[in-house]
Amino acid sequence: MGEHVTINGPDGAFAAYVAKPAQANGRALVVIQEIFGVNKVMRDLADTYAAQGYLAVVPDLFWRIQPGIDITDQSPEEWQQAFDYFGKFNVDKGVVDIQATIDHIRQTHATIGAVGYCLGGLLAYLTATRTSINASVSYYGVGIQDRLAEATADTKPLLMHVASEDSFVNKEAQAAMKAGLSGHKQIEMHVYEGLDHAFARVGGQHFDAAGAALANERTMAFFAENLS
């Protein structure tokens, strides 16, 4: 069971859910939300990462729209709400808030990773290209194909999980990502054949246990290597 803290960013204060490991070891993760806010899915992910030894912090990145958004993917009405929030969300401001979260965590933890899903997958990519994070993981990030030029020599180690049948990232976008990012020494990309968007979201329509297990195994190995 986690707790809530307040993070002070350059544009104001916002809340974050924090899950603590049984024993602190100096390693932490910023867990970056989907379009449903800091909901039970995100809190459960933070708890899972904490159980694996990481301080896990989930910042409320929708606070400028409405603090405390917490909805699910289980009804058409909530999906409509989620896409409305997504349309109002400022990605660049979100990255500013992620950097503020990193700065907050660095007061007590030297080594910090980031992991994001869906919208958070895009933000995890931008976290690797724009912030002081140590390493970042993107699960089925949306819109990355429009920001490939951001992946420079200064990009932090980045692991990307891509679903081949992603209904929000079409084949053209996937081809652009592969062409634009292949060969980048800091970026590792895995494609999960036959899987759709949010294949790692437990309880989601497209959840795939085998695909999620493989992606999560790769994520933990990546963090073990890059956050030592």
The per-residue pLDDT for 25 is 86
Q: Active site residue: 109, 197, 206, 208, which one?
A: 197
Whole-angstrom CA distances from 142 to 124, 139, 152, 173, 202 are: 11, 9, 19, 9, 19
Burial of 71 (0-12, 13-18, 19+ CB in 10 A): middle
Q: Which residues make beta-bridge pairs with 29?
A: 56, 113
- CB 4 within 8 Å of CB 16: yes
Question: Three-state SS for 180?
Answer: helix
Domain boundaries, position 200: 3-226
The per-residue pLDDT for 1 is 66
Model confidence over 205-218: pLDDT tens digits? Answer: 999 999 999 999 99
The per-residue pLDDT for 152 is 96
Per the annotation, the verdict on 197 as an active-site residue is yes
Mean pLDDT in residue range 143-157: 97
The per-residue pLDDT for 228 is 80
Stated length of the chain: 228
The per-residue pLDDT for 24 is 82
Q: How many domains does the chain have?
A: 1
Q: Active site residue: 166, 196, 206, 208, which one?
A: 166
Residue 93: pLDDT above 80? yes
CATH of residue 47's domain is: 3.40.50.1820
What's the pTM value of the predicted model, to 2 decimals?
Answer: 0.96
Per the annotation, the verdict on 166 as an active-site residue is yes
